Amino acid sequence: MWRDLDASDAMLEALDAAGPRPDAGTTEEKRQWGQRFADACAVGFANALRGNVLFSRLEIRPNADGSGQESLTGVGGRGQKKVDVIASTLASGLQVAISLKAENFAPADGNYGRNLKNRLYELQDEVRAIHEYQPRAFVVGVFYLPLDATVDRAGRSSFARTVANLRSRTGRIDYSLPTQLNRIDWSVVGLYVPEDVPGGPIRGVVRYFDVGKPPPQRGRPKTETTMSLAQVIGQIADDFKRDAGEVVEYADPEEDV
């Protein structure tokens, strides 16, 4: 149950870094809050990547102290493209890229999905730029929503809409096809709790939902269908190794009679 979950240290640090939420603030105040939140979430993801044995040998940005946010990934003739989290090597270039998007505040009608398409267009543009520069780079999309985005609409929630829209943009069939360049390799929606909910989950709780799974049309997903940050990083590692051909599934041989 969501109310039984412990807060995530990485999410608490991100919320603290972002500061008090300007729920009644101006558009610019909300934008600045969102940028601070995204920068801190990027540090949390980068630290989690560094803690995974597969990625520990790679150069990962941003740094643990938050520096390195200015790191840019060159994308050829299209100039430079800022990527939230990158893992690379000097010899092979970009290996893993994580792009963070969010809809942190709802307008007066409480609908978190008003700007969903714009956010997803931004994400697809970033993914295409990365894949044009480094076709084999494994790109992960992470879309953050407050937990109440699961109940913000009478019909299909903004959470359910985000899962469906991200799913339609996720998964590459053939790295050589130009039509596949703007497709994300894997995507999750991060549901987080910005403030304590009376009788419910506490501030700093966050769980990640794989967009390949069916979400509830309205309401919170069951916790057993969600992932922690560590599990997300583990899944990225497994998918990365599989794409690199390092994971081969073997069948049992026929037994001698």
Residues 112-153 have pLDDT tens digits of 988 898 999 999 999 999 998 888 899 999 999 999 999 999
Q: What is the pLDDT of residue 208?
A: 98
Cα dihedral sign for 226, 119, 87, 46? Answer: negative
- Contacts of 79 by beta carbon, 8 Å cutoff, 6+ apart: none
Q: Which residue has the tokens 């596949």?
A: 180
Q: What is the pLDDT of residue 72?
A: 47
Q: What is the pLDDT of residue 247?
A: 47
Q: What is the pLDDT of residue 71?
A: 54
Amino acid at 136: R
Regions of the chain where pLDDT drops below 50: 72, 74-78, 247
Structure tokens at 230: 């560590």
Instruction: Provide the residue ranges of all domains of the chain, joining segments of one domain with +.
Output: 2-243
Q: Please state, in angstroms and rounded to a whole number, the distance separating the CA atoms of residues 183 and 138.
A: 11
| Full-model pTM | 0.90
Q: Helices 9-18 and 27-50 meet at what angle, rounded to 10? A: 150
Cα 225–chain centre separation: 16
Q: What is the pLDDT of residue 255?
A: 79
Cα dihedral sign for 63, 64, 70, 72? Answer: positive
